[in-house]
Amino acid sequence: MITQEIVFRFLQMKPALNHSQIEKEAGLPSKTLYKAQGGLIKLNEKHLAKLLPILRDYGFTEELFSKARVISIVNHKGGVGKTTSTINLGKALSLLGNRVLMIDMDSQGNLSQCFGVHQPEEQVIDSLLDKRPLPILEIEPLLHLSPSDIQMAYRELELVNSIGSEKRLFNKLSPFLENYDFILIDCPPALNVLTTCSLVASHECLIPIQPEASAYHGVENLFNRILEIREHLNYSLRVRGIFFTMVHKKQSIHRNMIDHIREVYGHFKIFDSQIEMSTTIKQSQVAKKDLFDYSPKSLSANQYLDLAKELITL
């Protein structure tokens, strides 16, 4: 049976659908959806039974939300905003009502530190090498974290030499796919076994790019690696899109680089939402908070919220 929560997740996914039209087709009083969204009423079984066939006509299926979308945030260039994007996209998705798990696959442990998790006793690498399940910490009810620290670097060689190393995260994640709507993997700045492991476990990847020549030049190597992984290890991996981070909108050099990347990589989805360069982001990380806790009304928080909304529709 469909639930109210799933109705609204489906409507979020299809922002172009007209709510009044759906109410009319389902034979519901006008503004029913509006009132339910605002918490004034709760959709009851009769409402849901009437809505189900109409939503099916618009593409709803039960399978749509039965398993998490697993998404790697990947770019082997360092410092392009992978971790910042994992934190804030993760938080934005949770604020939109999704159950989110973030996985720290970087031995720098920046993602974990940002949530105040230092030297975690149980961490991702132990689970990949031993018989333990993935360790999961609850940051907030809808936002969970699987942490890492420098131990991951110390044990990386063990992982390289282990049987089926590249499939190990995939295997460890499978029991959790039904517990989450989104699983975001923060990849390290390298095309190493940990990045391969992340991409093999993922359905999709998102590529943050800083619109500067140095950041753009290496990106072809990343696409080649993704192609190799698709060919040999994970046929279902999709490049869900490229998004720009640390953008200076007023600098013509950034604008020109963005236009150039749109031209060269136009066959990929390039997100409309862009994350501008902002000191609020740096300050929020010094304060060890996500943007939505640190400065919920900031431009940066809104830009990550827009990115999350755009991601949901894809």
Ligand X SMILES: Nc1ncnc2c1ncn2[C@@H]1O[C@H](COP(=O)(O)OP(=O)(O)OP(=O)(O)O)[C@@H](O)[C@H]1O
Binding site for ligand X (CB under 6 A): 78-84, 106, 108, 110, 189, 245-246, 275, 277-278, 281-282, 285
In sequence order, what are the residues at sequence separation of 6 or more whose Cβ sits closer than 8 angstroms to the Cβ of residue 121?
none
Residue 281 binds: one of Mg ion, ligand X, none (C-beta under 5 to 8 A by kind): ligand X
Q: How far is the CB of 127 from Mg ion (least distance, A)?
A: 20
Residue 80 binds: one of ligand X, Mg ion, none (C-beta under 5 to 8 A by kind): ligand X
In angstroms, rounded to a whole number, what is the distance separating the alpha carbons of residues 20 and 112?
Answer: 43
In sequence order, what are the residues at sequence separation of 6 or more whose Cβ sits closer than 8 angstroms to the Cβ of residue 215?
77, 80, 209
Residue 78 binds: one of ligand X, Mg ion, none (C-beta under 5 to 8 A by kind): ligand X
- x/- track of binding to Mg ion for residues 34-73 (CB under 5 A): ----------------------------------------
Please answer whether residues 158 and 77 qualify as being in contact, where contact means their C-beta atoms are separated by less than 8 angstroms: no
Q: How far is the CB of 67 from ligand X (least distance, A)?
A: 27
Residue labelled with tokens 């230092």: 118
Q: How far is the CA of 145 from the CAs of 80, 129, 134, 177, in angstroms?
A: 21, 19, 10, 14
Q: How far is the CA of 13 from the CAs of 29, 146, 172, 263, 313, in angstroms?
A: 23, 27, 28, 27, 4
Closest CB to Mg ion: residue number: 83
Please answer whether residues 265 and 242 qualify as being in contact, where contact means their C-beta atoms are separated by less than 8 angstroms: yes
**Applying CB under 5 A, does 303 fall inside the site for Mg ion?**
no
Q: Tell me which of 82, 144, 172, 254 binds Mg ion, using CB under 5 A.
A: 82
**188 or 241: whose CB is closer to Mg ion?**
188
Q: Tell me which of 75, 83, 88, 98 binds Mg ion, using CB under 5 A.
A: 83
**75 or 94: whose CB is closer to ligand X?**
75
